[in-house]
């Protein structure tokens, strides 16, 4: 019986779609032949909705303008026109349509919300808040109005006020998923994330079967690097709603952080079975197989992801990482470049491409990219270690020393920078300076001195430096 019911529903849906398609074709033919015609407003709404649903916004605009010429006082048509103008990024025109719709139907709260959203886009957060607060007097869905006011304050970077209204939205509707999410974002910005755990737990006490509250509590634990707690919260969310796909993805991220890759993979496979293929899920499956060191499988999933969305930068980056693990550096560069072309502000993309260029001997390109990366993230000491190595291996020791000196200015407490400087100074023949730097390195972290032996196989022959290490060890200062 259930199968027959499903077939009947599918047939009815197909029939409705065919009717709308015939209606659209009839409309387009009449417009093309410049005929006089008339449709009622509801028929126009169906035609225009079809254009919007199919992203044919310019044709939709033409249709709605014709419709309004025949139904000048239809607020629903004006709302459709406003939505089309938003899609075409003509926000000022959209606002004019909405304000006209509001004058025709002053108690439609959806118009209030749309006006507020457009004003936020136009940078008029104050105006958005003013119109949205008026909507509170007439709205039956105060949770959504409070949420929209919170978004206006958030756009204005008034995060504490935004948090206040997101909380009001949640108090009206414990399952307002977006309010729960945006509240966590604002609390993170204001440094109140840790204190918010009890706040979320209070809502869970009031409604322990809110999968959204458990889900967002898990997200907070993720942001606080409390991954075991995050897994537990996501598990509760999934127990309440076994088809909550986002929870499967987020629990897999937490499990990856805990290096429980096999478990993470199972949750991702469940998410895929629920929602079907997407560039995101394929990329996530690529990542977990990368961590499982199954690089051929990770490559396959990344390729599937890109096949769906050729601009999905995360999968290009994943392909580059997987290929680099297989020492296929020239191929890795190809995909790192694609990721970098899409997002040249991503520090990981810059660093990975820089290192790959170095591995194939493209020193000029590598140096340019490392220079950019250091400029973007001057306090990343590992980046400076890698960058300096290029100059060191090419014989420009003075430049290598200069890079490490600048890195020490940015991160004066990082012992590995001092140990690397010891090696460079030694090779430059500046032995007295190398001893002074070694003493600083040993004071910061004695145990890290092993890197000297890893970096220089014959380090034991440097008697003066070995003497300093042994004296420091025997002095009890380690």
- Look at the alpha carbons of 430, 436, 437, 439 in this order and tell me if their dihedral is positive or negative: positive
Query: In 102-258, which ranges are E strands?
Result: none
Q: What is the C-alpha to C-alpha distance for residues 310 and 345, in angstroms, rounded to an integer? A: 19
Burial 304-319 (b: 16+ CB within 10 A, else e): bbbeeeeebbbbbbbb
Contact 420, 406 (CB under 8 A): no
Q: What is the C-alpha to C-alpha distance for residues 7 and 273, in angstroms, rounded to an integer? A: 22
Q: What percent of the chain has pLDDT over 90?
A: 72
pLDDT at 177: 82
Mean of the pLDDT values across residues 433-445?
A: 91
Q: What is the C-alpha to C-alpha distance for residues 147 and 163, in angstroms, rounded to an integer? A: 9
pLDDT at 366: 95
The per-residue pLDDT for range 5-48, each reduced to its tens digit, is 545 555 676 777 788 889 899 899 988 888 888 999 999 999 99
Confidence check: pLDDT of 1 > 70: no
Higher pLDDT, 228 or 181: 228
In Å, what is the CA distance from 405 to each residue of 409, 456, 462? 7, 20, 23
Q: Nearest CA to 405 among 422, 390, 393, 430?
A: 422
Higher pLDDT, 270 or 184: 270
Confidence check: pLDDT of 310 > 60: yes
Give 223: exposed, middle or buried? Use CB within 10 Å, 0-12, 13-18, 19+.
Answer: middle
Mean of the pLDDT values across residues 434-456?
A: 88
Q: What is the C-alpha to C-alpha distance for residues 220 and 230, in angstroms, rounded to an integer? A: 8
The per-residue pLDDT for range 371-426, each reduced to its tens digit, is 999 999 999 999 999 999 999 988 999 999 999 999 999 999 999 999 999 999 98
Model pTM score? 0.74
Neighbours of 40 (CB within 10 A): 11
């Amino acid at each position: 019986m259930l199968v027959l019911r499903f077939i009947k529903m599918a047939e009815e849906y197909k029939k409705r779609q065919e009717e709308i398609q015939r209606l659209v074709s009839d409309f387009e033919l009449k417009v093309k032949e410049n005929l006089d015609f008339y449709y009622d407003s509801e028929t126009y709404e169906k035609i225009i909705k079809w254009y919007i649903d199919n992203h044919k916004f310019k044709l939709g605009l033409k249709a709605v303008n014709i419709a309004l010429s025949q139904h000048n006082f239809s607020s629903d048509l004006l709302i459709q026109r406003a939505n089309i103008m938003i899609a075409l990024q003509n926000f000022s025109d959209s606002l004019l349509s909405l304000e006209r719709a509001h004058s025709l139907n002053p108690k439609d709260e959806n118009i209030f919300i749309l006006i507020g959203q457009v004003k936020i886009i136009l940078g008029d957060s104050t105006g958005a808040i003013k119109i949205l607060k008026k909507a509170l007097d007439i709205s039956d869905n105060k949770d959504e109005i409070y949420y929209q006011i919170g978004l206006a304050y958030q756009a204005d970077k008034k995060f504490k006020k935004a948090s206040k209204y997101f909380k009001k939205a949640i108090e009206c509707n414990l399952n307002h998923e977006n309010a729960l999410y945006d509240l966590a974002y604002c609390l993170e910005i204001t440094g109140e994330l840790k204190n918010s755990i009890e706040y979320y737990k209070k809502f869970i006490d009031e409604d322990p079967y809110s999968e959204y509250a458990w889900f967002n509590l898990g997200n907070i634990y993720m942001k606080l690097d409390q991954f075991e707690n995050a897994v537990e919260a996501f598990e509760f969310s999934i127990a309440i709603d076994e088809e909550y796909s986002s929870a499967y993805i987020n629990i897999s991220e937490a499990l990856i952080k805990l290096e429980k890759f096999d478990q993470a993979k199972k949750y991702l496979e469940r998410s895929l079975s629920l929602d079907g293929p997407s560039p995101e899920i394929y990329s996530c499956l690529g990542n977990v197989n990368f961590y499982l060191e199954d690089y051929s499988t990770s490559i396959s999933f990344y390729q599937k992801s890109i096949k769906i969305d050729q601009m999905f930068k995360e999968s290009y980056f994943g392909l580059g990482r997987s290929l680099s693990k297989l020492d296929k550096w020239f191929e890795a560069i190809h995909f790192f470049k694609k990721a970098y072309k899409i997002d040249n502000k991503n520090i990981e993309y810059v660093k990975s491409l820089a290192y790959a260029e170095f591995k194939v001997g493209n020193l000029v390109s590598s140096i340019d990219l490392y220079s950019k990366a250091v400029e973007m993230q001057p306090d990343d000491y590992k980046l400076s270690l890698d960058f300096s190595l290029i100059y060191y291996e090419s014989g420009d020791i003075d430049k290598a020393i200069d890079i490490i000196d600048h890195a020490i200015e940015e991160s004066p407490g990082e012992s590995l920078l001092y140990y690397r400087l010891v090696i460079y100074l030694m090779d430059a023949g500046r032995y007295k300076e190398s001893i002074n730097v070694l003493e600083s390195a040993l004071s910061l972290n004695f145990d890290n001195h092993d890197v000297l032996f890893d970096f220089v196989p014959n380090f034991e022959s440097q008697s003066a430096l070995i003497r300093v290490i042994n004296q420091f060890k025997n002095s009890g200062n380690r």
